[in-house]
Structure 1
Amino acid sequence: MAEYQIRRCDRHLTGGIHPETHKQLSTAEPCVFVETPTRLLFPIHFSGGGPGEALVRVGDPVAKGTPIIRCQSGIVHVASRAGTVLEVTDHAMAHPSSERSACIVIEPDGLDRQDYLSPMNWPFDAETLRERAIEAGILGLGGAGFPSFKKWSNRTQTLIINAAECEPYLTADDTLIRIDTHSMIRGACLLSRTLDIQTIVIGIEDNKPEALEAIECALKESRSDCFFDIVLLDTKYPSGSARQLVWLTLGIEVPTGSRSVEAGVIVHNPGTLAALSRAIDGKPITDR
């Protein structure tokens, strides 16, 4: 059993708002995978990790997990389904700017061919974990898409799992914590052990009792020697913003123009840590 404590946050945001959340619209339904579409578009220059280059050509067969794009940052993106590369062509992005990007177009074949990485065995060092994150396409899955390995400093003292998810309608993190808590906890523990991080903080709004219960159950079943500090936050937007979350949970103010890592703090989304756990087992990011 991992050691943990649950405490009510004793700090409160000045300002902020209490919008209607509407989260029950999705949390009341089971999580399901969408059907495989007839075409998949992978933007080469609008992918997380910066501008990229195509690693495949028209006519190439790909499996689920085959590298297809390498970004300027080094991050590799993989095919999310097996199929064939139909074309590489300009296409409008699903973005308010309506900009266009060269895209790799894949026609899925419905087969379950996989091209995964070799599983890693503990112990491994920080550089080995960074390389795995690059190969597996590990990005911040909270929305920004920042390459996760760039946050991993050897001077880090604290890892914060940002489970606040304060935005209306959004329940991706809440749902993931409920159904795959162990992957999130394992990813956090392995990252912390690799970087010699002493404390893992989970910042979670108090409107997620099912997720909190799942976290407690997972920690009781865990064999980790990490310590988890679970901080219950008021349900208020924007408590899940990185700067606000660092202040609410730790009392540390991150100056404008600085990043939390400069204060010795890494902030990661639950989905990012779950994806890291799977990547250590060999599975690159193919879904969210």
Structure 2
Amino acid sequence: MSRPDPRNEHIGRVRSRVGGLRADRRVRYRGRDLHAELKGVDWLDLYAFGITGRRFQASQLRLMHALWVHTSYPDARIWNNRVAALAGSSRSNGNLGMAAALAVSEAHIYGRGNELQAVAFFLRGRRSLDHGATLEDCLGEEMHRHGRIAGYGRPLLEGDERIAPTMALAASLDLDQGRHVQLAFDIDRHFAELGKPLRMNYGGLVSAFGADLGFSPEQFALFMFPSFLAGMPPVYLDARSRPEGTLLPLPCETVLYQGPPPRAW
């Protein structure tokens, strides 16, 4: 017996549970009047409310701002910023360049995918520990599941310069003792005691804060989506101000080619 196609009842209409523009010209945003109840709110406050349906405390919002600010590097050598800079060097549209740079920020190992996995790991690990598992059990299960521990290790540098200022702010806001943040540092100490080069990186720390703030993995990935954005317009504009095509030009003769020899067609 075939089931009714759920698409049939949506033909010709768009339904929303989160709001929109009404016939009376009022705009509802998750049940609130955008231009009355939410007027004047901080943009990040609105953004997080749109993702979670929850309003956050002022101290939490200060920390959440910092999670973005502390990773806003105007450095064209960074993988996603390089896309923005190349857009400027090639005279592409700035908004297209930013969109492309944010798209490649989804990298699984060191972008949004890393945080998606890390938040899930901290939530799952904390539950397992609460039910009697050991830290080694949790790490072993995660290694079996994914082959790595998201949020630990950094390819080029030992340690992460973003952790200290973030924790200093969190301490000043009394937000540094969350259960998932404490777990993150327990794992960091565990790897250090074993002599493994797997110190916690910024993705691990912010993901632990995300778990403590009540984000699901998917919600936190959405929240962190703009976190690299502030570093991108500067590198785009800087590259655009220089002669066209001068960002990382690569002459053909510098390429070490070991494939088939030239062929006549």
TM-score after normalising by structure 2? 0.25
> Greater Rg, structure 1 or structure 2?
2
**Greater helix content:** 2
**Greater strand content:** 1
